[in-house]
Amino acid sequence: QDLKAFYTGMPKTELHMHIEGSLEPELMFELAARNNIKLPFATVEDVRKAYDFSNLQDFLDIYYQGMGVLITEQDFYDLTWAYLTKIHGQNVVHTEIFFDPQGHTDRGVSFETVITGISRALEEGLETYGISSRLIMCFLRHLSEDAAFATLEQALSHKDKITGVGLDSSEQGHPPSKFERVFAAAKEAGFLAVAHAGEEGPPDYVYEALDLLKIDRLDHGNRALEDDALVQRLITENMALTVCPLSNYHLAGVSDMRQHPLRKMLDLGLKATLNSDDPAYFGGYMNENFEAVVEPLGMTREHILALARNGIDASFTSVVQKQELQ
Ligand code: ES4
Ligand code: ZN
């Protein structure tokens, strides 16, 4: 109970959160009504009942369907503002937000509409709540390399608003190597890089993310623990992992939180951080993710502090600063 007061009151960073995954069912209904879109659900309760996933693809199908209510710039603003309001109430002071432009441009919503709505909310989040932020544009890995290149091209005129590129969506069968050239071009253009790897995919995909995509931070990385040499390398390179406990519980076969690898990662010396991934779909934001692991894993005040410190150290703001000092 004492620990709960500690992590809820603690200033926190969030480094792995898909803004489309923060769309709560209530707002989904509101936007559907506003945009004359018919949802395949009658009530908010029906939506929540559908959030019963057995794997990543199961979830992604519902996630892409859900984001279909986002049409106008105001929709993207409202989505982002709702997230910022929520995390302000949880003492999150810095957030690095993923967005999936291809999930929108493929439905006829322009890149400009998406980026303008999100960015306007982020600017206001800094003014009103004092929350600093960064934006990370993800490529959908189930789509082609060409499609990723076209998306990167669109991002170039918004370089001032986007700090990094990432890689998400269906991992199995879509290895990082598929995007080696796109990431090289993105890095050349000055973007930082992250990638989802080792969420469902094998340790080999983590090696590829390191060696071919030259990532600055690893998203998930859970399956790296299957390979001792890889673990040693992540420690030596001081590579941060953005771990998402409630997401793993709902998608990645962690059926009992006492089996979750987060504490083991910290005890091994890996630079693990705690994040919410898709808070509207997986049952909670930052505090709920702390709550899911602290007691089941017997974590101490020191573990919680390490997560907070790692979050600051692994933030793109810190990464940029370190690069400038070199
Ligand atoms: C995602 Cl949990 C997860 N994994 C991969 N891609 C994603 N996009 C949104 N949430
Ligand atoms: Zn994710």
Q: Are 105 and 115 in contact (CB under 8 A)?
A: no
Atom of ligand 1 nearest to the CA of 196: 5
Please identify, by atom number, the ligand 1 atom nearest to the C-alpha of residue 278. 10
| Gap from CA of 60 to ligand 1 centroid (Å) | 7
Distance 109 CA to ligand 2 centre (A): 22
The rounded distance, in Å, linking the Cα atoms of 269 and 249 is 23
Quickly name the fold that domain 2-325 has: TIM Barrel (3.20.20)
Domain residue ranges in the chain? 2-325
Contact 138, 99 (CB under 8 A): yes
Q: Is 219 annotated among the ligand-binding residues?
A: no
State how far the Cα of 123 lies from the Cα of 134, in Å rounded to an integer: 10
> Pick from 324, 326, 307: which is nearest to 316 by CA?
324
**Residue of 57, 67, 19, 89 lying closest to 277 (CA atoms):** 19
CA distances from 277 to 124, 192, 243, 249, 285 (A): 22, 19, 9, 12, 8
User: Any idea which residue has 């004492």 for tokens?
Assistant: 2
- Report whether 18 belongs to an annotated binding site: yes
User: pLDDT tens per residue, the chain (326 residues)?
Assistant: 699 999 999 999 999 999 999 999 999 999 999 999 999 999 999 999 999 998 999 999 999 999 999 999 999 999 999 999 999 999 999 999 999 999 999 999 999 999 999 999 999 999 999 999 999 999 999 999 999 999 999 999 999 999 999 999 999 999 999 999 999 999 999 999 999 999 999 999 999 999 999 999 999 999 999 999 999 999 999 999 999 999 999 998 788 999 999 999 999 999 999 999 999 999 999 999 999 999 999 999 999 999 999 999 999 999 889 988 88
Nearest ligand (C-alpha, residue 20): 1
Non-local CB neighbours of 280 within 8 Å, separated by 6+ positions:
21, 22, 23, 24, 25
CA of 230 to the centre of ligand 1 (A): 23
List the residue whose alpha carbon is closest to atom 8 of ligand 1.
169
**CA distances, 248 to each of 48, 56, 264 (Å):** 18, 10, 15
pLDDT of residue 22: 98
What pLDDT is attached to residue 326? 84
pTM for the model stands at: 0.98
Binding residue per annotation — 16? yes
Contact residues of ligand 1, CB 6 A cut-off? 18, 21, 56, 63, 168-169, 196, 199, 247, 251, 277-278
d(C-alpha 107, C-alpha 64), whole Å: 11
pLDDT at position 1, please? 64
The response to whether 220 counts as a known ligand-binding position is: no
The Cβ of residue 51 has, within 10 Å, a number of other Cβ atoms equal to 18
Q: Which residues pair with 12 in a beta bridge?
A: 92
Distance from the CA of 175 to the center of ligand 1, in angstroms? 15
Nearest atom (ligand 1) to Cα of 168: 6
Residues identified as active-site: 199
Write the CA distances from 243 to 27, 35, 64, 68, 246, integer angstroms.
Answer: 27, 35, 22, 27, 9
Beta-strand (E) ranges in 71-128?
Answer: 92-99
Of 277, 281, 289, best ligand 1 pocket probe by most atoms within 8 Å of the beta carbon? 277
144 strand-pairing partners: none
